[in-house]
């Protein structure tokens, strides 16, 4: 708590320009890797072979994944089923039609007990592309819906600030995934959508305080937008940091113990919570100043208030 008090005594918002320069630097780096290295789309989006196998030997999904990768000499995904001994193995489509029999034979020879094939399915590249397109559409629609909500809840300048801050977060996360060539699948997309919700929630809390501070300001006195927004940011600082810290504890547990199937989801959440907290404090609030928000745009006139109160 003493640390939080010391932080609140520091005017963090006064470092907004330095934070903006740092953000711009990392965004440019992220865009560079995204443009020239691209995104490593996983089997969910590129298509592949799905095998459901039963392993009589006691083995976990991580050990089985390492064994399968040594056999096929490429990256694969292995996920445990709710049934004991059942695993879902995802293989790239370019391994050939006979990979199922070859893999089962090799697993039989490397494990003490038998391995049996329960089902084998093939997902074509077209199906994977459709999943990718629909996922992208869902992502864009979520941004639009949030933007419309912010316009009606606050003002269109707040909506612009929040949406640009969200793009800032997403570009940074995609840049990290591209830099380290981390597979981007449906669970990664789910993590991105969760980050959007978390980040915009942080931003809305700060925007609420900003709007109320503008409304309570004396209209007869000159209003200093910087001081009002800086005060609002510092007022919500303890709430923002405590919420982010406690959420990160859960995400770190998922990252360390969730296994391969939850790794990309957990990593995106971990990155998103950190960068989302940063952007809510510095980017979204700073953009409101750059957009020159004014008290008159946030205060309901006396005539409008009387009309609202008189409405049935």
Under 8 Å between Cβ of 87 and 31: no
pLDDT tens string 231-243: 777 777 777 788 8
How high is the pLDDT of residue 27?
92
Residue range 66-71: mean pLDDT, rounded? 82
pTM over 0.75, yes/no: yes
d(CA 216, CA 110): 72
Residue range 256-279: mean pLDDT, rounded? 85
Question: Measuring CA to CA, which residue among 289, 207, 286, 287 is closest to residue 240?
Answer: 207
Q: Which residues contact 274 (CB under 8 A, 6 or more apart)?
A: 244, 248
Residue range 186-207: mean pLDDT, rounded? 85
Under 8 Å between Cβ of 7 and 241: yes
How high is the pLDDT of residue 303?
43
Q: Which residue did the predictor score with more confidence, 311 or 121?
A: 121
- The DSSP annotation for 157-193 comes to HHHHHHHHHHHHHHHHHHHHHHHTT--B-HHHHHHHH
**Most confidently modeled range among 23-32, 90-99, 219-228:** 23-32
Distances (CA, A) of 24 to 133, 226, 283: 28, 21, 10
Under 8 Å between Cβ of 269 and 191: yes
d(CA 276, CA 202): 8
Instruction: Give the torsion sign (CA, 80, 85, 90, 91).
Output: positive
Under 8 Å between Cβ of 53 and 114: no
pLDDT bucket at 90, cuts 50 / 70 / 90 = confident
pLDDT bucket at 32, cuts 50 / 70 / 90 = very high
Sheet containing 48-55: order of strands: 77-80, 86-92, 48-55, 115-123
Question: Measuring CA to CA, which residue among 299, 260, 297 is closest to residue 61?
Answer: 260
Task: Flag the least confident range among 109-118, 190-199, 204-213.
Answer: 109-118
């Amino acid at each position: 708590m003493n640390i939080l008090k010391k932080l609140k005594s520091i005017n963090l918002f006064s470092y907004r320009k330095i934070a903006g320069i740092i953000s711009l630097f990392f965004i440019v780096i992220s865009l560079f890797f995204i443009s020239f290295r691209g995104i490593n789309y996983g089997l969910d989006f590129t298509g592949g072979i799905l095998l459901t196998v039963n392993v009589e030997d006691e083995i976990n999904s991580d050990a089985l994944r390492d064994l399968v990768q040594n056999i096929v000499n490429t990256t694969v995904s292995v996920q445990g089923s709710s049934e004991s001994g059942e695993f879902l193995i995802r293989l790239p489509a370019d391994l050939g039609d006979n990979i199922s029999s070859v893999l089962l034979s090799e697993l039989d020879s490397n494990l003490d007990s038998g391995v049996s094939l329960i089902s084998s399915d093939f997902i074509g590249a077209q199906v994977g592309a459709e999943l990718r397109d629909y996922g992208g559409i869902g992502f864009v629609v979520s941004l639009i819906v949030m933007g419309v909500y912010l316009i009606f809840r606050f003002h269109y300048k707040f909506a612009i600030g929040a949406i640009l801050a969200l793009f800032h977060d997403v570009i940074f996360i995609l840049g990290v995934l591209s830099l380290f060539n981390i597979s981007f699948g449906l669970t990664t997309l789910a993590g991105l959508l969760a980050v959007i919700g978390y980040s915009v929630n942080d931003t809305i809390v700060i925007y609420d305080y900003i709007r109320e501070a503008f409304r309570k300001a004396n209209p007869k006195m000159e209003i200093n937008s910087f001081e009002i927004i800086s005060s609002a940011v510092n007022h919500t600082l303890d709430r923002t940091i405590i919420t982010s810290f406690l959420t990160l504890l859960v995400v770190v547990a998922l990252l360390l113990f969730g296994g391969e199937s939850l790794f990309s989801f957990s990593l995106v959440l971990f990155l998103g919570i950190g960068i989302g907290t940063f952007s809510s404090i510095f980017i979204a609030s700073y953009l409101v100043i750059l957009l020159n928000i004014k008290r008159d745009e946030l205060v309901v006139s006396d005539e409008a208030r009387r009309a609202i109160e008189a409405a049935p």
